[in-house]
Amino acid sequence: MTRALVSVPKTARRGEIVDIRAMIAHPMETGYRMGPNGAEIPRHIITRLVCTYGGDEVFAAEFFPAMSANPFVSFSLIAAESGTVSFAWTDDTGQTETASAEIVVS
């Protein structure tokens, strides 16, 4: 189970450009390192991140082994309507985690 810190403004004016940020606490283990006992540490990375707003996909990213642990993502979007900004990330084991935050547009 991973956890995410999501930063979405609580309020915005219609048409305003807002910054969205997320940091996902995840080891992003590449599968190339050796553990203290000399055994290879198995690969375990986030492979895809998707952000939706108002039911529409507004941002998506694919991650690869070169990503650092605890990936941080930042992007902008135009505040069009009040609603939920949702994040979903999937790791290479197929497990999907989610986080969300509300934004009120006036």
Contact predicate 6/22, CB 8 Å: yes
Provide the residue ranges of all domains of the chain, joining segments of one domain with +. Answer: 1-30+42-48
pLDDT tens digits, one per residue of 4-27: 999 999 999 999 999 999 999 999
What is the model's pLDDT at position 3? Answer: 87
Contact predicate 79/54, CB 8 Å: no
- Where are the extended beta strands (E) located within 1-106? 3-7, 11-12, 17-25, 46-53, 56-62, 72-78, 83-91, 96-105
What is the model's pLDDT at position 1? Answer: 64
Does the pTM exceed 0.75? yes
Q: What percent of the chain clears pLDDT 90, i.e. is strictly above it?
A: 94
pLDDT tens digits, one per residue of 19-48: 999 999 999 999 999 999 999 999 999 999
